[in-house]
Amino acid sequence: MTNLLLKNVRPMGQPATDLAVVNGRFAETAPPNAEPVDCGGRILIPGLVEAHTHLDKSLLGLPWYRNEVGPRLIDKITNEREVKVSLGLDPRIQSERQSIQSIGYGTTHIRSHVDIDTHHGLAGVEGVLATREKLAGYVDIEIVAFPQSGMIIRPGTVEKMDEALSLGADIVGGLDPCGIDRDPRAHLDAIFGLAEKHGKPIDIHLHERDALGGFSTEEIIARTVALGMQGKVTISHAFCLGATDRAYVGDLQAQLAEARIHIITTAPSSAPVPAVMELRALGILTGAGSDGFRDTWGPYGNGDMLERAMYVGQRNNLRRDDEVEMALDICTFGGAAIMELADYGLAPGCKADAVLVEGETLTEAVVTRAPRKLVLKGGKLTARDGVCVLTAP
Amino acid sequence: MTNLLLKNVRPMGQPATDLAVVNGRFAETAPPNAEPVDCGGRILIPGLVEAHTHLDKSLLGLPWYRNEVGPRLIDKITNEREVKVSLGLDPRIQSERQSIQSIGYGTTHIRSHVDIDTHHGLAGVEGVLATREKLAGYVDIEIVAFPQSGMIIRPGTVEKMDEALSLGADIVGGLDPCGIDRDPRAHLDAIFGLAEKHGKPIDIHLHERDALGGFSTEEIIARTVALGMQGKVTISHAFCLGATDRAYVGDLQAQLAEARIHIITTAPSSAPVPAVMELRALGILTGAGSDGFRDTWGPYGNGDMLERAMYVGQRNNLRRDDEVEMALDICTFGGAAIMELADYGLAPGCKADAVLVEGETLTEAVVTRAPRKLVLKGGKLTARDGVCVLTAP
């Protein structure tokens, strides 16, 4: 492996310096054989962390899909299950396409929810597992076994989830225990049961709003504490924490902090969202993700986690530079902490997963979102000028 | 003037055809001397309409401004008035820089609010007037005389507004009659008085929320009707129309429709916004704008009105293709209708103000926001591959 000397580089926007990469990790000093890389005074940040996406369902690379779907969540779920068949969507190819696009934007770690249902079985998980193996060394992929179509309303799904976790899925997923499965007790008992059986963490989608989402949150907290799973449970979306009754939300958040439950937001502009500054003030680990993009749910999104940091900032009305830097921290160190990434960061000894970005300051890098000059994964060049070195299928 | 034959072009995403430009206007047929322009099957849309921005206050081209401003509206107003002095901001240069950036993104028409206060007097208006003259033929600029620091609380401002309107400002601006001036009757009487005196329309910033903004809206409606100014008054932002009490909002909207008052939104993700589908269903003309960007208020924004169409779509949860096309319509025909642009569009006889965009469909063009291949203003090439033919100062 080539050792590197990153010259004239500004780690986290600090004054320019030289940074050594030895055996794929940042190091105090470079050996004489290190290859110099002129960074032109650009800012270096650690690899962007995509903490919530859906690699199996993007339509990237296909002819434009004209969206004429109905307004309800269940309309979108049903439509997607059918369109996967009519388009012959291949989760292996789609996940590879999306991952390669993400690498071009500087993402080095991805947590992907992957659909599991009685119609498509484990096809999604098998496809993303194949992509994970193929792209090893370019991007790290975590797989959440995700019952997108419900578990209790579709008997046989829990068994498929169980198989997926045996097959290599890392995390137990879940979805709106009231809103989709209409049986919060059965839904939550099932996913916590799977987590206990496989010794794996949980990351549950919770779109339920206001008191309904609050109720589900309390039930998640209760099970987390009862099973001693503090620090191992994440709630994605958590729209209920964006409720207008801030006293009620404050109480919920205090309980979440005590149970060490993490929050991942996609900072959508059309739904209530958790207030990230409040979460961070309480010590709740907070990450961010693109959610699914360019899929049957909607046309928006591209996997750019600098753009996502901008969305997090805009949605939370973060205007000061220190606040925008916090939004970026959520898209880097925040997600990394939730994913318990070892050796993440720019310090000596950390894995050299990093991105060279354009801008005078971190905030300028976030708001301009210029093509990434260079992306490193374990000290290896994986993208240049916004384009991954790998070619998408 | 060179006549053109745009070859292999898809107007509004329709099947490919050839389009003639004769004497700066779209025409049924091209004369033999028309210069052929290969459009490569790309989509042509009419020039993007930036219906709400602040050309005088961008910090484009200056060293990065580190934002450490307080949270209240008045903090930002006060800070800006002071920073203009400390940075020696020149409204002529800044407005030229921003306009040229906007042209690169395909904007052909801009409505700019321009600050007027007792400290800076008419410096902003004079600067933007100079830019308007200099960029004539590249972009059309409308100037709103805007009392950013309040009128009633800063005596002498109304007189400066009056001077600005005599000097060439096209529209009477206003700002939060309750929230800033703390005297809605005096504020509204002043701006409607100026409008009547100069025979000019009104475009008032209204950030006031819920019942407060509703009260101001009712007062605006009453004066609009009393003075017979139907069709000549615009409310920008109108956050009160994003209130959760939809019955109350519905009643307000019905009154706005009857008074033919227009709405311009910037679709921010951190504030309540008017529901654009409801407005359009009521026949209320609806436009969109970038608002100020890269200024002392915050770091976000770039003047890209395709990106703004995306924000309008995201904020209003528009996911279907027909809905995203409506968001784009707001950023083109919607703003054009409010600005009463003559001969706007792609039909024969319309001025050849148009943008060649990338994408298989209009929706793909909006969500990808790729650099604009070509921008025409009155049949003249003003930008290519995202870059204006003019160089910013």
Give the pLDDT confidence of A26-40 residue by residue, as tens digits: 999 999 999 999 999
Measured between beta carbons, the chain A residues lying within 8 angstroms of B298 are 319
Q: Give pLDDT, residue A149.
A: 94
Q: What is the mean pLDDT of residues A14-29?
A: 97
CB spacing of B314 vs A367 below 8 angstroms:
no
Give one DSSP letter per residue of B338-377, joined into a string: HTT-TT-SSSTTSB--EEEE-SSSHHHHHHH-PPPSEEEE
| Percentage of chain A modeled with pLDDT above 90 | 97
Pairing state between β A380-384 and A387-388: antiparallel
Alpha carbon distance A386, A320 (integer Å): 27
CB spacing of A270 vs B314 below 8 angstroms:
yes
Give me chain A's average pLDDT, please. 97
- Give the model's confidence band at A340: pLDDT under 50 very low, under 70 low, under 90 confident, else very high: very high
CB spacing of A67 vs B320 below 8 angstroms:
yes
Q: Give pLDDT, residue B47.
A: 98
**pLDDT at residue A232 tops 90:** yes
List all residues 6 or more positions away from A274 whose beta carbon is below 8 Å from its beta carbon: A238, A241, A242, A263, A265, A286
Residue reference for tokens 């989402």: A213
**pLDDT at residue B102 tops 90:** yes
CB spacing of A317 vs B270 below 8 angstroms:
yes
The nearest alpha carbon in chain B to A312 belongs to B269
CA end-to-end distance (rounded Å), chain B:
27
pLDDT in tens, B107-158: 999 999 999 999 999 999 999 999 999 999 999 999 999 999 999 999 999 9
The nearest alpha carbon in chain B to A62 belongs to B360
Where do the CATH 2.30.40.10 domains begin and end in chain B? Answer: 4-46+345-384
CB spacing of B316 vs A364 below 8 angstroms:
no
Pairing state between β A233-236 and B387-388: unpaired
Q: Give pLDDT, residue A74.
A: 86
Measure the CA dihedral B310/B378/B285/B324, to 10°: -20
**pLDDT at residue A72 tops 90:** no
Q: Give pLDDT, residue B258.
A: 98
CB spacing of A269 vs B314 below 8 angstroms:
yes
Residue B282, judged by CB atoms within 10 A of its CB (0-12, 13-18, 19+), counts as middle
Token digits of residue A368: 């301009």
Q: Give pLDDT, residue B277.
A: 97
**pLDDT at residue A1 tops 90:** no
With contact defined as beta carbons under 8 Å apart, do A97 and A88 qualify?
no
Residue reference for tokens 């190819």: A93
Cβ-nearest to B68 among A68, A320, A368: A320
**pLDDT at residue B376 tops 90:** yes
- Give the model's confidence band at A361: pLDDT under 50 very low, under 70 low, under 90 confident, else very high: very high
Q: What is the mean pLDDT of residues A375-383?
A: 98
What is the three-state SS of B194-206? HHHHHCCCEEEEC
Contact residues, chain A to chain B, C-beta under 8 Å: 63-64, 66-69, 244, 267-271, 294, 297-302, 310-311, 313-317, 319-322, 324, 359-361, 363-364, 366-368
Question: In CATH terms, is domain B48-338 a member of 3.60.10.10?
Answer: no
**pLDDT at residue A130 tops 90:** yes
The nearest alpha carbon in chain A to B297 belongs to A319
Q: Topology of domain B4-46+345-384, per CATH?
A: Urease, subunit C; domain 1 (2.30.40)
Measured between beta carbons, the chain A residues lying within 8 angstroms of B314 are 268-270, 300
Where do the CATH 3.20.20.140 domains begin and end in chain B? Answer: 48-338
Cβ-nearest to A269 among B269, B301, B363: B269
Residue reference for tokens 């959760």: B244
* Closest CA of chain A from B18, distance in Å: 23
E strand map for chain A: 4-11, 17-22, 25-27, 35-38, 43-46, 48-53, 107-115, 140-146, 171-175, 202-205, 233-236, 262-265, 286-288, 354-357, 374-377, 380-384, 387-388
Residue from A72, A320, A361 whose CB has the most chain B CBs within 10 Å, to mutate: A320
Q: Give pLDDT, residue A212.
A: 98
Return the number of CB contacts < 8 Å for A and B.
Answer: 94
Measured between beta carbons, the chain B residues lying within 8 angstroms of A291 are none
Measured between beta carbons, the chain B residues lying within 8 angstroms of A269 are 267, 269, 311, 314-315
The nearest alpha carbon in chain B to A321 belongs to B67
Helices (H), strands (E): how many in chain B? Answer: 12, 17
Token digits of residue A254: 């205090």
* Closest CA of chain A from B241, distance in Å: 15
Q: What is the mean pLDDT of residues B284-301?
A: 97
- Give the model's confidence band at A121: pLDDT under 50 very low, under 70 low, under 90 confident, else very high: very high
Backbone region of residue A343 per phi and psi (left: phi > 0; alpha: psi in -120 to 50; beta: other values): left
What SS3 class is residue B288? strand
* Closest CA of chain B from A65, distance in Å: 9
pLDDT in tens, A312-336: 999 999 999 999 999 999 999 999 9
Cβ-nearest to A300 among B321, B322, B367: B367
Alpha carbon distance B120, B126 (integer Å): 11
Cβ-nearest to B316 among A267, A270, A359: A270
Cβ-nearest to A319 among B244, B298, B322: B298
Measured between beta carbons, the chain B residues lying within 8 angstroms of A298 are 319
Q: What is the mean pLDDT of residues A232-250?
A: 97
With contact defined as beta carbons under 8 Å apart, do B33 and B1 qualify?
no
Residue from B67, B207, B245 whose CB has the most chain A CBs within 10 Å, to mutate: B67
pLDDT in tens, B63-81: 999 999 988 888 998 999 8
Contact residues, chain B to chain A, C-beta under 8 Å: 63-64, 66-69, 244, 267-271, 294, 297-302, 310-311, 313-317, 319-322, 324, 359-361, 363-364, 366-368
Q: Give pLDDT, residue B74.
A: 86
Measured between beta carbons, the chain A residues lying within 8 angstroms of B67 are 319-321, 363
* Closest CA of chain B from A360, distance in Å: 7
Cα A312 to its chain centre, rounded Å, is 13
Q: What is the mean pLDDT of residues A271-281?
A: 98
List all residues 6 or more positions away from A47 whose beta carbon is below 8 Å from its beta carbon: A106, A107, A108, A109, A332, A344, A353, A354, A355, A375, A376, A377
Measure the CA dihedral B269/B272/B276/B282, to 10°: 180
CB spacing of A67 vs B299 below 8 angstroms:
no
Nearest to A274 by CA among A293, A249, A257: A249
- Give the model's confidence band at A178: pLDDT under 50 very low, under 70 low, under 90 confident, else very high: very high
Apex A344 CA angle, A342 and A346, nearest 5:
145
| Percentage of chain B modeled with pLDDT above 70 | 100
Q: What are the two backbone dihedrals, phi and then psi, of residue B285, each rounded to the nearest 5 degrees? A: -65, 130
| Percentage of chain A modeled with pLDDT above 70 | 100
Measured between beta carbons, the chain B residues lying within 8 angstroms of A310 are 300
* Closest CA of chain B from A323, distance in Å: 9
Residue reference for tokens 């490919």: B16
Measured between beta carbons, the chain B residues lying within 8 angstroms of A360 are 63-64
Nearest to B68 by CA among A334, A363, A16, A328: A363
